[in-house]
Amino acid sequence: MAGRLFAQHGYLGTSSKEICLRAGVNMAAVNYHFGSRDGLYEAVLVEAHRQVVSVEELEAFARSERPAREKLRALLAHFVTQAALGEKSWGFKVVLREVMAPSPFVSTLVEHAVAPKAAIVSRVMADYLDLPREHPAVQRGLMMTVFPCIALLIAPQGLREKVLPALQPTSAGLLEDMTTFVLAGLDALAAASVDEPADAS
């Protein structure tokens, strides 16, 4: 219930009173279980990001026996699927709100949700690029792979319907085009990074 309310009204627009009334629990429940409304919101943030992509899902991609190329394609496919679900997920709406208008607790989202997942994807990226995980090209490759997925997730429905209909998650060829674009870029990045030291900044 709290997640749906935060998704609808945001961090500032949702009170402990409203959460407890809608959930049918005692007013002290939020403080008892989470310490405060802020503690509850932090828990909601982490769960919201888990709904978009979980550590378990990413570990499954990373640990599979498939080539790194196929792992990356599967990751892109996951985000395309999530973009299709978008508005049906309160978790997606909470994360979107936090990205567009960060609350004082955005660091919780980064530390407890984004960073652990980025570390997992970095392993796959390093494997694909055949570079050490600490190599700057691995971080850049991660950014340039994930950011288009984020853009697809947060693109307004009106933009996808009226301006760029080929970006509809159900559009034929979208996943293949994204995969082709990302992998070609990573191949070029790997080739350009052969002589770049791992500690380059």
Could you tell me the two tokens for 116?
């652990």
Q: Which whole number is the average pLDDT over 157-171?
A: 80
Position 198 scores a pLDDT of 61
Q: Is residue 90 in some structural domain?
A: yes
Q: Are 51 and 3 in contact (CB under 8 A)?
A: no
Structure token digits, residue 107: 């660091």
46: in domain? no
Give pLDDT tens digits for 101-136.
899 999 999 999 999 999 999 999 999 999 999 999
Report the distance separating Cα 67 and Cα 84, nearest Å: 26
Band of the pLDDT at 86, cuts 50, 70, 90? Answer: low
Assigned domain for 38 exists: no
Residue 31: which pLDDT band, with cuts at 50, 70 and 90?
confident
Q: Specify the range with the lowest mean pLDDT, choosing from 86-100, 105-119, 162-176.
A: 86-100
Domain that holds residue 123: 52-192
Would residue 15 count as lying in a domain?
no
End-to-end CA distance of the chain: 44
Domain of residue 142, CATH code: 1.10.357.10
173 within a domain of the structure (yes/no): yes
42 domain residue, yes or no: no
- Domain tally, the chain: 1
Q: Is residue 20 part of a domain?
A: no
In a domain, 82, yes or no: yes
